[in-house]
Amino acid sequence: MTPERLARGHELVARYPRPQSALVPFLQYCQEQDGYVTLQAMRDAAELVGITPGEVESIASFYTLLFKAPAGKHIVQVCRTLSCMLRGAEDLQAYIKRRLGIGHLETSADGQYYYEEVECLAACDRAPCLQHNLEYHYDVTPASFDKLLDSWQASAPAPAMPAE
């Protein structure tokens, strides 16, 4: 484990009465740096909290915001639950998939974009909505999505999945 990672790991462990509570926060921290939860991160986490790498993998696989493979620099998660569907989410999803040229749970060939249809984002009053790298965008239309896409392409890359 790099000294930096170890130091952060110790900081997280110190927040809790038991080390294992720091497991997911530590994986979130690693994911922020690496873009996904790498094998090395799982080994480091196992060492940090004192369980086996297999156990870490089983736990990590439970959580949908921990990516087990490189997903993309831009993670686009569009809501597919009832209130958004009632306000046109299906048409929006079809449009976005066409624009990005990828389907549900897919990454674009250049590794830039990852698309996923997710469950209710607790923004049902501003439907349809989506998150881009965990940032909310509301009342999304095809036209407003085009503008978002332009701004993402122009912006400097930030961590796709910030830890805190």
- Binding residues vs ligand FES (CB under 6 A): 79, 81-84, 120-124, 127, 129
CB atoms closer than 10 angstroms to residue 147: 11
Among residues 69 and 122, whose Cβ is nearest to ligand FES? 122
| Nearest in space to 28 (alpha carbons), one of 161, 158, 131, 132 | 161
CB of 84 to ligand FES, least distance (A): 3
Contact yes or no for 68/58 (Cβ under 8 A): no
Q: Is 86 in the site for another protein (CB under 8 A)?
A: yes
Residue 49 CB-density burial (10 A; 0-12 exposed, 13-18 middle, 19+ buried): buried
Other residues' Cβ atoms within 10 Å of the Cβ of residue 144: 13
Q: Closest separation between CB of residue 126 and ligand FES, Å?
A: 8
Candidates 43, 68, 97, 126: give the one binding another protein (CB under 8 A).
126
Rounded CA separation 158/84 (Å): 28
160 binds another protein (CB under 8 A): no
Give the full edge-to-edge strand order of the sheet including 106-107: 106-107, 113-118, 74-79, 130-132, 135-137
Among 30, 42, 49, 130, binds another protein (CB under 8 A): 49
Residue 140 within binding range of another protein, rule CB under 8 A: no
End-to-end CA distance of the chain: 21
From the list another protein, ligand FES, none, which binds 48 (C-beta under 5 to 8 Å, kind-based)?
A: none
Kindly indicate which of the ranges 17-25, 96-104, 105-113, 148-156 contains the residues binding another protein, using the contact rule CB under 8 A.
17-25
Give me the residues that bind another protein (CB under 8 A), please: 15-25, 27-28, 49, 58-59, 62-66, 80-83, 85-91, 119-127, 131, 134-136, 162, 164
